Structure 1
Amino acid sequence: MQEGTQEKIGLVFLSGAGLDSHIWSKVVDGLEYPHLMATYPRRKDSMESRKKLSLDDYVTHVKRQIDEWGPRRYVIVAHSLGGVIGLRLASERNDRLAGYISVGAAVPKNGGSFLSVLPLPKRILISTILRIIGTKPPEAAIRAGLCSDLSAEQTAEIINGFTPEAVRVYTDRIKVSPPAVPTLYVKLTKDKEFSPSLQNKMISNLSPQWVQSLNTGHVPMLSDPDGLRAILEEFMVNAR
């Protein structure tokens, strides 16, 4: 996917909840396209100082990085919670957006939030947890959900590096429709965090041109970076 013969279209990577942007490092290693592993705001600050951040704050922070980056046109690659940030970003940058890829990502309906995509029992449970203990899940939940198919070393890395997000990223609503660009949903068939049936709902909401499956859990950028990279590269060719 190229613009004329000059500038290659880039990829902007948006991480899921609690994950560092470098979670994508093994995927971008060897990738032939320009890439930006976007960070979220005030990552090094205390949770107390970050808890009032809104979804708008996250989107604005990512937009600033894109503007300082380089390629004029780009494809968004959004994972998990990053889907709500990606959809908002896509709606505001439609003149620069060349494609949209969801990797086991949340895709709310127009007017929905991240919480709105969850089945009702889980939505009530997560809402209660957010109010009582905040946005960092217990270690056992991280192991069972995010890290279900990861090695002990990878699991320790996720747990030790987990950064709680602001509550409003989960609860703020987005008034957007699916991007009017080539779209792909990467379905994670062994995902314990976003079940395959829940991902089917996200696929229905996004109505992508393509659906690809990876036989991984929720964090394919660690469990199968080569497989995910191959899917991204195929998209970049097919979506010209």
Structure 2
Amino acid sequence: MKHIRLLQLLVVACVFILTSCSDDDAAPPSKNYVLVHGAWQAPYVWNAVKANLEKQGQKVTVIELPGHGNDQTAPDEITLDRYKEKVIEALSTIDGKVILVGHSLGGMIISSVAEAVPEKTEKLVYVAAYLPATGQTLNELAHTDPDSQLGGDGILIFNNDGVTVDVKQDQIVNLFIQDGTSEVQDLVLKNYRSEPLIPFINPVLLTAENFGSVEKVFIKTLKDHVVSPSLQDRMITSGGVKSIYKINTGHSPFLSQPDSLTALLIKISHN
């Protein structure tokens, strides 16, 4: 009888240990990530990060902004509001809140989205992104950044159509992906398109009640040639950012270090 009792106790103990381990090791609930690319880029830049997140059980939606990628919306019809509406449309198809991630220009967009639908936005994540104050335009913010190489003589080419702007061809790699492999650099060059200009001069109107109520996180890119680290610091200070992370990359960490960026996005979802 003693042996039977001991065996019963061992079984109970094993069940308790297995249950405890199962609880501790259980994967956290999946999150909804919505990824917004920046200027002169397109959804392809998020491919590796999207795949990494999905391998870890996360749900990912990548936005294709009007006038980018395969979208053929006429540039003179594209405004910051059109970008905002495209993201809100995607959010309307997702159950629950989202972690809204914006890169560069995408920071202007996710800010305006959070102002419109704060109830759908769990966190705003700015990846080397413009974080505006109310009433600011991207153009105004960029002009406060003397350390940016994007503003050098002749680098920006304003086209005769009046509604698009280009980057000097021999500066594209240096600006956007100087720290990437040759294959990734070629990918950026292959997918390059002229950028709609009007959204650069559209202001973002933000309130403390809506935009101000959403938690903000900034991923600072330490080798950035487009949005300088000094401007990133100033936006972090003025923008009500709760958490700051750093990644030792240029302007496009999703291309040069997608695994590291993915790890940060997962960490952000837990904090």
Settle same-fold status: TM greater than 0.5.
yes
Q: Is the 8 A contact 2:65 2:71 kept in 1?
A: no
Q: Distance in 2 between matches of 1:145 and 1:128?
A: 11
Q: Deviations over 1:176-213 (max 9, x none)?
A: 14542222100000111111111112212322111110
The RMSD of aligned alpha carbons is 2.4
1:17 maps to: 39
Query: What is aligned with 1:236?
Result: 269
Alignment match, 2:121? 97
Inter-partner Cα distance in structure 2 for 1:78 and 1:179:
17
Match of residue 113 from structure 1: 137
Partner of 1:4: none
Question: CA contact under 8 A between 1:52 and 1:166: conserved in structure 2?
Answer: no
Identity %: 23
Whichever residue aligns with residue 269 of structure 2, its letter is M
C-alpha distance 111-209 of structure 1, shift in aligned 2 (>3 A): same
Which has the larger displacement, 57-66 or 90-99? Answer: 57-66
Q: Which one-letter code corresponds to 1:191 in the other structure?
A: D
1:221 aligned partner, one-letter code: F
Mapping of 1:83-232 within 5 angstroms? 83-120=107-144, 129-130=157-158, 134-177=164-207, 178-232=211-265
2:84 is aligned to 59
Q: Deviations over 1:131-184 (max 9, x none)?
A: 658322111221211021112211111111012232111110111145422221
Distance 1:129 1:109, change over 3 A: farther
Matches of 1:132 and 1:200 in 2, distance apart?
35
Q: 1:179 to 1:156 in 2, by over 3 A?
A: farther
Return the alpha-carbon distance in structure 2 between the equivalents of residues 80 and 232 of structure 1: 16
Structure 2 CA distance for aligned equivalents of residues 92 and 219 of structure 1: 27
> 1-side partners of 2:206 and 2:193: how far apart?
27
Pair 1:41 & 2:66 matched: yes
Structure 1 counterpart SS, 2:185 = helix
Question: Paired residues, what number?
Answer: 230
CA distance in 2, matches of 1:45, 1:98: 28
* Contact 2:36–2:103, Cα closer than 8 Å, also in 1: yes
TM-score, with length taken from structure 1: 0.87
Unaligned regions of 5+ residues in structure 2, if any? 1-28
Normalised to the residue count of structure 2, the TM-score between the two structures is 0.77
Report the residue type matching 2:103 in the other structure. H
Inter-partner Cα distance in structure 1 for 2:67 and 2:224: 29
Separation in structure 1 between the aligned mates of residue 262 and residue 268 of structure 2, nearest angstrom: 10
For structure 1, which runs of at least 5 residues remain unmatched after alignment? Answer: 1-6
Separation in 2, partners of 1:130, 1:45: 21
Of structures 1 and 2, the larger Rg is shown by: 2
